[in-house]
Structure 1
Amino acid sequence: MRAFAELLDRLSLTASRNAKLVLLRDYLRTTPDPDRGWALASLTGDLTFDAAKPAMIRKAVEARVDPVLFGWSHDYVGDMAETVALIWPRDPNYRANREPELGEVVEALRTASRGEVAGLLEGWLDALEPKGRWALLKLMTGALRVGLSARLAKTAAAMMRPDAVSEPPDPEGGETTRALEPVEASDIEEIWHALSPPYADLFAWLEGRADKPSGDAPGRFRPVMLAVAIDEAVDFAKLDPDDYAAEWKWDGIRVQAVLEGGTAKLYSRTGDEISGAFPDVMTGLAFEGAVDGELVVWRDGGVAPFGDLQQRLNRKTVDAKMMDAFPAAIVAYDLLAEGGEDLRPLPLRDRRVRLEALVSGGGGARLHLSPVVPHANWEELAVLRADPPVGAAAEGLMLKRWDSPYVAGRPKGPWFKWKRDPHVIDAVLMYAQRGHGKRSSFYSDYTFGVWTEEGALTPVGKAYFGFTDEELKQLDKFVRDHTVERFGPVRSVRAERDFGLVLEIAFEGLNRSTRHKSGVAMRFPRVSRIRWDKPAREANTLDDVMDLLDALESGGGRVAQLAG
């Protein structure tokens, strides 16, 4: 457990991507099975414990520490795991022979009942030092937040492969070695869904002790191909528009629908299976293969705004009423496999022909074709991008080379995303809350609002990124200097017509929402600028926001710049 705790601690304090990769690579090289496998599973999100809940942790610590003192400490530190790790009073009668190993903890948590976990937790917290307690609690709750994505973790695993491996001596007693082919993260992703923690077969292959595990199973997930953001000032001068297909960047979520050998599955872009939440989609597909596309709500012959799809997201089950009100479908833009044939090595032009034939030939009532957008030059596409005829359901354009194979990851050149410029408003900071991980000491989560007709502020969103580290320090100081009330971990900041901090907020879209007092919800809001120079009274109004929402719902695609 100590090595795992040290790894998490160093990852959380390391900003460099390459440094994180080296830290994890070295850990995987030097840590024995099964601990390294359980560590990799936790970092990729493939390790969860149903019997371990945050409420259990709080109950355990409040049995040993005054609840009020713990509440104040939690409010100050801002992170549950860190607070418990620091404040936990070891039982004076406890006599630990050794700290628990990572594999020992995982195996116990996988088999223990909820009642048993409480006792195990207390014993482990007594046995561990603060850094180990923090790692234990992060492991149990699944909230690692160390700045390492699942793909980056797989990249580090690929990096642990040596250049060569020693072979048994030949009959004459000579020393022999065998060179090993390099491994990429995409090679691991290709077989990932056929593996299970603690990945002994994966490590055996990476270290040259066994053959590559087979990932060839019906219904498997294929690693997705991703696009890079286009640099209009640089890329267009080097690119020929005739070489690229243009499609709408649909405002849904990326999915992969796989129907093979009687197995039907729907995956998110990260490979999480979401079939159970969309039974209407799965029963409405009729093909043999794997389709890459966008999950949307399909209504009146077209794609509905993203807000409609949000009603269906993050649900484990869905009832008939919900499916009828928000009918889901897939807008298909690529065909990865058909009839047992892997189409990914083929150029996009050939895959597109096969996809069109599949959809028109009866791919199912819930499968629709994403059309190619005709264009003669980049200028024509720029006009369509700024004011798309499909309205709010498209957030820009995708540009894909006609000759590009389907390659996992984010290669530079084959695919570009050309998103519409974001909408922008000026809003007033109203509330702040501490962040997590490296930001647990800073007020970095900001709720902002706009003015109503009555002259009051109403919240319209929350943002926690878009600013630099130096700006974060300035914002944190403003919150501390101008706090007027506290509500648990939340601070209410002074915000009046004659005094307040204006934040320029960029966002991708608006939806009507009955859950929010203002009646609207923003999509992907972030702080684009701190308006130290702007009086709070000049921030935007709720009428401004509602006018934009009306324009978007009526099909107006023009970017709104409400900030001044």
Structure 2
Amino acid sequence: MQRFAELLDRLVLTPARNGKLRLLRDHFAAVPDPERGYALAAITGGLDISSVKPAMLRGLIAERMDEVLFGYSYDYVGDLAETIALVWPAPHDGVRAIAEPPTLSEVVGALDAATRREGPLLIEAWLDRLDSSGRYALLKLVTGAMRIGVSARLAKQALADFGGQDIAAIEELWHGLEPPYEPLFAWLEGRAEKPESAAASPFRPVMLSHALEAPDYGRIEPGVYAAEWKWDGIRVQATAERGVRRLYSRTGDDISGAFPDLVDFMTYDGSLDGELLVARPVDAKSGKPKVAAHPEPPRDDIVVGTFSDLQQRLNRKAVSAAVLKRYPVFLRAYDLLQAGGEDLRGLPFAERRKRLELFLVGLVPSRFDLSPLVPFDRFDDLGPLRAEPPHPVIEGLMLKRWDSVYVPGRPKGPWFKWKKDPRLVDAVLMYAQRGHGKRSSYYSDYTFGVWTGPEDDLELVPVGKAYFGFTDEELKQLDKYVRDNTVERFGPVRSVRAEPDHGLVIEVAFEGLARSTRHKSGVAMRFPRVSRLRWDKPAFEADRLETLQAMLPD
């Protein structure tokens, strides 16, 4: 347990991505099985400890400390595990000297076998035996809320670096593995063959695009590239194989539980890549959106809902019947990765597109439809379409080489995205300040930044500050995020964890951009506002400073 606690402490205090990767690699190399495997599971959210809940931890500290005093402490610290770890009063100094602290595997094994009555008693005994770092690690382990600046993908990258493998190989195996991952470590250390994926419906690492810029305009010819609309939803992968149905986010998180209304209709055997959107039925007389009917509404009675509609479905572990009815989702498919037992990723896009059209024929059309191609005779035809698309939920164009195979990552050239104006950028939340008046108890003024520097050593530079554009509900979500991810405090201002693999992406809208010598970034925004919260987007996919510099007037 102490080695795990040391790892968490160092990860919290190490802001740089490469530093975190090095710490994880060193831990995997130095710590034996099964301890390192359980540490990996804890960091990636792979442990489900049902015998202890946060309310039980509050009950434990209530027996040891005045409830009001703890409330003040919790409000100041902002993290339940950290607060309890700091204030927990051990019964007397000799307790920790008498008993050795438990190992991580002992803790996991005991809690897995414990009932909900026994779990808190185990935690209480261990808290008395551990120091503050050990208590913090134990409580983070049981609550599952690490918040140490390490995403599951960063941990997988560390594994790949540790074993000299490609991260795509790790991601394709991941959902078929179980803690403490001993066969995985044996393979990475060269002691065994690569494990066979035991998972039905595994995640297949996604292919990404580059922003289309002027130097590449000449490449875009109709015989070379296909054009299709870029819809304003979230990228998902819908895979159904051997009776198992899973819906994945672009980063490989299993989000099936949040979208049962789509998963229920995944009656095929294969893997679709596409955009998750809300279907808003329209009243034929008034032309206004109405609550979804049941059973499935006909296809010609559907319009695509806004991203705000989709936000009603995001970040939920469970979805009420009312939300399912009001905001039904569907998949607009634009690629077919697997059909039955056949892997199609090595085929050119033109062939995959033909197979996709046939694949969708047998599916419920109100839940699955085909992303339409945009015909064009020359590149200049696309400019007006990009500027004035036929639907408000279209945010631009996707341009894909007809001969492109589907490969993980972001290769330059096969796929481009060409977003429409107005001026929108994806930035990362860096600082938050308390508001005024009715907002004095909320962190409601937000400073955000974009990336600069080489890909292996990215740095955020502030580019603007916004304090409006979000709803009251979103304000509560933002305030909680700030409190849960604070790394430093400066009076009324909090510095928020913001790293390539851990950060909140905010889509920022602004009226203009000017050069500035007062800002480190060299740019200043005019009337910036929060356009939407991109909970689904990893921080490393936020925009770069060069994107803003290209918008500056000559």
Is 1:296 aligned to residue 298 of structure 2?
Answer: no
Choose from 219, 222, 226 the match for 2:204.
222
**Which segment drifts farther, 3-12 or 68-77?**
68-77
Q: 1:383 to 1:7 in 2, by over 3 A?
A: farther
Which residue in the other structure is 1:416 paired with?
A: 416
User: In the alignment, what sits opposite 2:158?
Assistant: 156
Match of 1:65 in 2: 65
CA 1:204 to 1:147, structure 2 compared with 1: closer, same or farther past 3 Å?
same
CA contact (8 A) 2:423 2:509 kept: no
What's the offset of the Cα at 1:87? 2.1
When normalised by structure 2's length, the TM-score is: 0.71
Given residue 221 of structure 1, which amino acid in structure 2 is its aligned partner? Answer: F
Q: Distance in 2 between matches of 1:49 and 1:421?
A: 47
Q: Given residue 206 of structure 2, which amino acid in structure 1 is its aligned partner?
A: V
User: d(CA) in 2 for partners of 1:447 and 1:386?
Assistant: 38
Do structure 1's residue 199 and structure 2's residue 181 form an aligned pair? yes
CA contact (8 A) 2:171 2:252 kept: no
User: Which residue is equivalent to 1:87?
Assistant: 87
- CA shift, 1:236, in A, is 4.2
Deviations 1:148-207 (A, max 9, x none): 22111111111112xxxxxxxxxxxxxxxxxxxx41110011111111111011111111
Partner residue, 1:340:
341
Identity %: 51
Aligned-residue CA RMSD (Å) = 4.1
1:37 alignment counterpart: 37
Q: How many residues align?
A: 458
Shift of 1:405: 1.7
Change (3 A) 1:252 1:91: same
Within 5 Å, give how 1:32-431 maps onto structure 2: 32-92=32-92, 94-95=95-96, 96-161=98-163, 182-215=164-197, 217-228=199-210, 230=211, 232=213, 235-236=216-217, 243-299=224-280, 300-318=301-319, 322-359=323-360, 361-365=361-365, 366-376=367-377, 379-391=380-392, 393-421=393-421
Structure 1 contact 246–374 (Cα < 8 Å) conserved: yes
1:5 aligns with 2:5: yes
Moved more, 458-467 or 347-356: 458-467
Letter matched to residue 29 of structure 1:
A
Higher Cα Rg: structure 1 or 2? 1
Partner Cα distance (2:173, 2:227) in 1: 31
Maintained 8 Å contact 2:224/2:401: yes
**1:245 aligned partner, one-letter code:** A
Secondary structure of 1:335's aligned partner: strand
Bigger mean CA offset, 39-48 vs 194-203: 39-48
Deviates more, 1:367-376 or 1:24-33: 367-376
CA drift of 1:147 comes to: 1.8
Residues in 1 aligned to 2:370 and 2:389: alpha-carbon distance in whole angstroms? 18
Instruction: From the superposition, tell whether residues 157 and 328 of structure 1 become closer, same or farther in structure 2 (CA, over 3 Å).
Output: same
Structure 1 residue 233: Cα displacement:
5.2
AA aligned to 1:185 is I
Structure 2 portions without partners, runs of 5+: 281-300, 452-461, 477-504, 519-525, 532-554
Aligned residue type for 2:236: V
Distance 1:61 1:525, change over 3 A: farther
Distance 1:285 1:71, change over 3 A: closer
1:404-553 superposed matches below 5 A: 404-421=404-421, 444-446=431-433, 462=444, 464=446, 466-467=448-449, 503-504=465-466, 524=506
What secondary structure is seen at the aligned counterpart in 2 of 1:194? coil
Q: Which residue of 2 aligns with 1:179?
A: none
Contact 1:27 1:36 in 2 (8 A): yes
* Residues 17/403 of structure 1: CA separation in 2 closer, same or farther (3 Å cut): farther
Aligned mates of 1:212, 1:348 — CA distance in 2 = 30
- The whole-number CA distance in structure 2 between the counterparts of 1:248 and 1:423 is 19
* Aligned AA (1:123): A
Deviations 1:450-501 (A, max 9, x none): 9xxxxx99999956551499xxxxx9xxxxxxxxxxxxxxxxxxxxxxxxxx
Distance across 2 between alignment mates of 1:402 and 1:315:
37
Q: Check 1:464–1:243 CA distance in 2 against 1; reply closer, same or farther (3 A cut).
A: farther
1:286–1:364 CA contact under 8 A, matched in 2: no
Q: Secondary structure at the match of 1:403?
A: coil
How far apart are 1:33 and its partner, in Å?
A: 0.7
Task: Give the aligned residue type for 2:149.
Answer: G
CA distance in 2, matches of 1:66, 1:362: 63
